[in-house]
Structure 1
Amino acid sequence: MAGEPVMAPEPPPVIWFNGAIRPWAEATVHVWTELATRGANVFEGIRAYQHPDGHHRVLSGAAHLRRLFESAALLRMPTAYSQEALVAAIDDLLVAFAGQGHLYLRPTLYVEHGRNGVDLSDTVTGAYVAALPVRRPDKVSDGIRVCVSTWRRGGDLVFSPLIKAGSAYHAFRLPLLEARDMGADEAILLNEQGRVTEATGANLFMVRGEQVITPPLSAGILAGITRSNLIEVLEQDLGLEVIERDIPRTELYLADEVFLCGTLAEVVPVVAIDGRSVGTCLAGPVTAAARNRYLGICDGLIPDTYGWFGVPARSPTHRVAEAPTIDNAR
């Protein structure tokens, strides 16, 4: 995606791997693990923003960890580490990366051995959490050009979009390559009914008149946490009506504004779809207002009235907000 966050070209020095902070190069698995051969993992992408006081604060940490363990539960994947253990792991990483700016955190639960095992007696599992310094690109407001892919988003009876699994993201490879071949930055996928779902790594919003519209979960989208946060901003801060409903492809061409959102992407204006200009080919007023409000809260420049952040984490005594226990257990 054009305008995507910039990560350092070199890997970080440390990673949390199966219970401890370890040197990056030592966090290895064998090529014959289920993780390597079948992509047997579920994961989350979480942002930790360094605020003006120097402390890192984790954005929607409880919601992300809840979704991580829900993904594992939907796949009937046993887990060797609890949510509380991952909370502590994230905090330890924030201590190790103190003062290094905004971070992208990637907690992952994976299967090492036991292809179809449903309990730990015949399955070996593991977990890791990576932290990567990331900065916002200078031209974040320029917008991107997208195309509607000829590939389709798989439905709930194929592989549920509610499961955030590494293997599921292979379904986005060909749409994204198709977009690049067509001179676009990103692809929007339709479902089998021809309705708009999402982009390859972000949810979608469309503005028509006084309404903001986004596809419902039933369209076959990931239950985006940034999407939920933005709905709060749009409705409560900006006083706009947000409607969750199906969007046919051709309605995108009539939109006054379109923007994408995600943990890593944050809020990205769409300025063209299939070669057709969206609005004035610039970020529209709703997109700009939502982006500025959202980023202001994330960066600690606007008070967090929604409770998105946990407590600041800079010493081992601090903890991010703990996720509630999932009874049937990103």
Structure 2
Amino acid sequence: MSIVYLNGEYLPMEEAKISPMDRGFLFGDGIYEVVPSYNGKLVGFGPHIDRMDNGLAAIDIQLDYSHDQWREIATSLSEKNGAGNLGIYFHVSRGADSKRSHAYPEGVSATVFAFAFEIPPEPVADRNVVKPYKVSTTQDLRWKRCNIKSTALLGNVMHYQHGHSEGSGETILFNERGEMTEGSAVNAYIIKDGKVITSPLDEQILPGITRLILLDVLRKDGSIPVEERVVTMQELRNADEVWITSSSKEVAPVIEVDGKAVGDGKVGDIWEKAQALFSAHKYNY
């Protein structure tokens, strides 16, 4: 039986109840995070909570939870759900009001919900065992504040479904200028002539925690050059390697874009080195 956290209480999932007037349900009015945990060891915990705090501030949800409180919740959920390989999901909505109104209500308390779910084992930096991805592309039709990790994910869901319907594991998006933004649930990268290149952070792109850690690790190591700049879709299609990153995928290689092979159609050696570096340092954040 899964144990969850709801507004200060740990209880079985089946007993957790949230009002149908909660603005998270009615409007998608909230912020969320997912923190990977392998045998009780959290990946990128500090940056995840910083991003959640930034998101809450951006949409003016008042919640006075410290990093230590969030860590205690994550640790308790891991222990109460058998540790192992878990994703710890944090969800904060504005709370429940007595009426449905678009304006932010006054005098309501935020709803804080968290649960743990199983995730695959830690990725291994071995091109012979990694599961590579095939992706589709389409124009980015989401809202203009993608840097906020909102619970209102219908745009992302529809883009993900686009790829799923075409037999792909992800969808990489491009804006009206033909520039790569990100994926429906991932950040995206190309590798050309030995250099890792990814789109710069702006309102089109979620500041991914795996992205943050990966780029920091690569820059500190210095053996693989990194560049943040505009990437055209033509560059994506002519790349030597393509990667996608997320908390659940870590650094995942892509071998096919829109049915065409990336490079020689095999997982690249630069990916293998980057994933090894990420694995060696990911618990330091």
Name the CA distance, whole Å, in 1 between partners of 2:65 and 2:281. 31
- Partner of 1:164 in structure 2? 149
In the superposition, the TM-score normalised over structure 2's length comes to 0.89
Gaps of 5+ in 1: 1-11, 51-55, 299-303, 309-330
Work out which of the residue numbers 154, 172, 176 in structure 1 matches 2:160: 176
Q: How does 1:1-330 map to 2 (within 5 A)?
A: 12-50=1-39, 56-79=40-63, 81-98=65-82, 100-114=83-97, 116-117=103-104, 121-136=106-121, 141-155=130-144, 160-167=145-152, 169-218=153-202, 220-237=204-221, 239-298=223-282, 307-308=284-285
> 1:88/1:130 Cα in 2 relative to 1: closer, same or farther (>3 Å)?
same
How far 1:174 sits from its partner (Å)? 2.0
- Deviation track 1:140-172 (CA, whole Å, cap 9, x = no partner) reads 6231111111443433xxxx12210110x2111
The answer (yes or no) to whether the contact 1:269–1:282 under 8 Å persists in 2 is: no
How far 1:123 sits from its partner (Å)? 1.9
How far 1:194 sits from its partner (Å)? 2.2
The answer (yes or no) to whether the contact 1:153–1:191 under 8 Å persists in 2 is: no
Structure with larger RCO (C-alpha < 8 A, sep 6+): 1
Name the CA distance, whole Å, in 1 between partners of 2:90 and 2:16. 14
Name the CA distance, whole Å, in 1 between partners of 2:129 and 2:117. 19
- Partner of 1:313 in structure 2? none
How far 1:18 sits from its partner (Å)? 0.7
How far 1:82 sits from its partner (Å)? 4.3
Name the CA distance, whole Å, in 2 between partners of 1:180 and 1:191. 20
- Deviation track 1:205-226 (CA, whole Å, cap 9, x = no partner) reads 1100021100001371111110
- Deviation track 1:44-64 (CA, whole Å, cap 9, x = no partner) reads 0101122xxxxx211111111
The answer (yes or no) to whether the contact 1:153–1:197 under 8 Å persists in 2 is: no
Count of residues in correspondence between the two structures? 277
> 1:20/1:219 Cα in 2 relative to 1: closer, same or farther (>3 Å)?
closer
For 1:196, the aligned partner's letter is M
In the superposition, the TM-score normalised over structure 1's length comes to 0.77
How far 1:129 sits from its partner (Å)? 1.5
For 2:113, the aligned partner's letter is Y
Tell me, what secondary structure is at the counterpart of 1:44?
strand
Name the CA distance, whole Å, in 1 between partners of 2:203 and 2:191. 18
For 2:108, the aligned partner's letter is T
Name the CA distance, whole Å, in 2 between partners of 1:254 and 1:207. 10
Coordinate RMSD, CA, aligned? 2.2
- Deviation track 1:119-141 (CA, whole Å, cap 9, x = no partner) reads xx522311011111222389962
Name the CA distance, whole Å, in 2 between partners of 1:142 and 1:68. 30
Name the CA distance, whole Å, in 2 between partners of 1:133 and 1:178. 25
For 1:260, the aligned partner's letter is I
For 2:12, the aligned partner's letter is P
The answer (yes or no) to whether the contact 2:2–2:81 under 8 Å persists in 1 is: no
Tell me, what secondary structure is at the counterpart of 1:47?
strand
For 1:117, the aligned partner's letter is Y
- Deviation track 1:256-284 (CA, whole Å, cap 9, x = no partner) reads 00010010121211101112110121210
For 2:133, the aligned partner's letter is I
The answer (yes or no) to whether the contact 1:117–1:123 under 8 Å persists in 2 is: no
Name the CA distance, whole Å, in 1 between partners of 2:259 and 2:120. 29
How far 1:32 sits from its partner (Å)? 2.6
Name the CA distance, whole Å, in 1 between partners of 2:134 and 2:7. 40
- Deviation track 1:189-211 (CA, whole Å, cap 9, x = no partner) reads 11233210111111111100021
Name the CA distance, whole Å, in 2 between partners of 1:26 and 1:277. 48
How far 1:238 sits from its partner (Å)? 5.6
How far 1:81 sits from its partner (Å)? 4.0
Name the CA distance, whole Å, in 2 between partners of 1:196 and 1:94. 36
Tell me, what secondary structure is at the counterpart of 1:259?
strand
